[in-house]
Structure 1
Amino acid sequence: MFTTYEEALGWIHSRLRLGIKPGLKRMEWMMERLEHPHDKINAIHVAGTNGKGSTVCYLRNMLECAGYNVGTFTSPFFEVFNERISVNGHPIADEEIVRLANIIYPLAVELESTEWGSPTEFEIITAMAFYYFGNQEDVDIVVFETGLGGRLDSTNIINPLLTVITNIGYDHMNLLGETLPEIAFEKAGIIKEGVPLVSSVEQEEAIKVIMDRATSLQSQVYCLDLDYHITNKRPIAYGEEFSIRTPTNTFQELIITMKGEHQIKNAALSLMAISVLQQQHDFIIKETHIREGLKRARWIGRFETLCDRPTIIIDGAHNPEGINSLVNTINTRYNDRKVHIIFCALKDKKLSDMIIPLETVAESLSFTSFDFPRVSSAKELFDVSTFEKKDFDEDWKSCITRKMKSVTNDEILIVTGSLYFLSEVRPFIVEECKNI
């Protein structure tokens, strides 16, 4: 058993060696032993290739502004591990992590001797979250983000009030499938019988898979551009402005501070989800709560400006769809300025599909690496690129320091790629910015 936070965290992280083990049997076994805490939770379940974290953030802020206590379960973390299990945006205490780890540890040990084997790191964390929120009486609703896919994701044992699918793209194809319909099938696995679904999926072949699944389960579906519509969108100095029309209301000139057209879609998706909670579950959320919640929502690592002179931005574009959104945002906001990019990615990504779009907007392109399983070396990334103004440095601290010193005040430096990479480098950049 654990007496310190460091011991508990060390044990949890040691489970990374088990990798990814899709399936729900281990979770169901642990929840049975814990007397089904997940069944006590009012939940929203969010899946999708990109935009899950931002969508969770928008939902949380609107619900908070309406006076609700909101739990969230997200991944990965950016500053502290505890933020994966949070209440009203505040990570749970170190003491809670120790307590929860001590509750789950004996179950993990017992599971090792069963036919299903040891639980993974993500299963351990998910079980901790279910136990915590299932026994937390002052939390009104919890927004759960899937870790990977949906159908076989550890979170998929909950029966939520509402399911949300952000979008479908090519990521984790070794586990989720090679085609959009195959990937959509895995994401659609979170749809439950009679539970409404809100979606911003746009590809016809993916929508068909989702609709077929929803129809078979008598789940009412609200789709972007069919049931709710975005209008009058435009970038503004500190974010985005847009209007939205839902089946029951129209909201004019909404403002978000997270930048990029993709963030407008995430915000609209969240607002439609709020509308469903109002109509079908009697949540009291006024227009003032919606406007204020959207406006104050911040999500670390999503086109986040860490320094103004020079402008240094980090963005968790960790797959081709994320890169395309980043490139679109750069073209919209900074097409008149020189943009220098530092990029790091994991081996299991479609690297050429990520690097080639970056080359279209970069003045220079630097590749680096960090200490993490499955990470690409800087040289491997460098070799994929055919860009003329490129370099590489295996030491990310050296790479970032050098580029920060060379960028002028009228230029832009963007650090992008793996979310795990950004969570490691963000504190370093914040400190370095203090010395500029």
Structure 2
Amino acid sequence: MLRNSARVPLKVLSAAVALAVLATTGPATADDPGRGPAADQAQTTEPGYGGDGRSHEPGLDPTPERPPTSEVSWLSFPGGVFAVDSLGHTVRYRACDGDTGRVADPNMRVAAGVASGVVVVGGAAYRYRVPLIGRSEGRLEVIPQHRPPTTLTGVVVTSPQPPTDPVAGARLFPLSGQLARVVADANLNPAGATVRDLSGRYGDQQIAVNGSLRPKAASVIKLWILVELLRRVDCGQVFLDDGVLVTPEDVVGGTGQLQFETFPQVVTLHRLAQYLIKYSDNVAANVLISYLGGFAPVNALIDSMNQRSTILARRMLDSAAAQRGEENYTSPDDVVSLLGAVWDGEILTPASRDLMIGFMREQTLNTKIPAALPPGVPVAHKTGDLPDASHDVGYYLIPGTETAVAFLTAGPMATGDETVRRMARTVYDFLVDPVDGAVEE
């Protein structure tokens, strides 16, 4: 929030939580959003369908007898999250008042699609009852020492979230086949796409082709950097008109505008956040990583949303880190998990959500999704480019058909760009003409 503007009301949590060392998950990785030197070969998964994890044959009833449970879910409540891993028997509380880190609960009870238990961290007890079915209601009681308990309730988030209307959602399934043909044709580029309806037109259904593909994240990782900054704004811990000193040592090349300015100078958090997305600014990304406290807080955000394919492990254009094998990774499913949580107000307040989407609408690198669509189609997006990766992710903002999309590829960037454009146009054609929508040749 800007210090002089009206603040969005946010429930201040009263629990006193000891701040533990922030744990990260997955192998060490890193990010390079510019079109710089080639780094290590992207890791990919075997071709297959991601998203809801089921194949859908014509004529079969897509409605499950009961909503499917997940091994991981997280409870969204004002100011924070409570993550549950029912397979690993771990939990994590992360809110405005602190972060427990990943905590083992060997006595976690999992029954009837609900994980429940109690853990004690730093003198505070956390008694939870969190369903493993998305869109359910969960409950967390925070019991600090010498203070009254706080009861928190909220929506449970899984990846993917189950559809609100399976019958309407079934109408989105043919898009999987169309995207699969585009992916199969991309001989030089392992590719993945995840699509989630946000409008209700398709019952908030999510579909994917190779949704677990895990290429280098490139500049797509900047979305998580922005969300972590805006989360702190929502908590009242920082203000967007706060200034950060940027020095000549912070300047790197690649994409962005700040590299052409004179330093040292003080740059506001608002301008850093805007440039991070609008120009995919590498200087802004590196400065914000330092401002936030390094990689750990961003990875804590990722971990708290159970996004297991994504990690931030190096700064932009850090070739030495890349040579050490430190790389940033993500997946189409994780990207849409983040975009969906932002859209639904599960990780940011409405004011911060609107600001983030506004920055994505200002994107100046428009050679992929926007170039594939007819002029004037409203989109908000974020690109990612490396010599061996090409991505574009974001929102189609067609009124009444709002949709979150993630198109990721590995392999040569030039052919990857074209694959992204074909996937982007395939989705658009389906949305505007679901009966006759076809793959653009």
TM-score (norm 2): 0.29
**Higher RCO, Cα 8 Å, sep 6+:** 2
* TM-score, normalised via structure 1 length: 0.29
- Specify which structure has the higher proportion of helix: 1
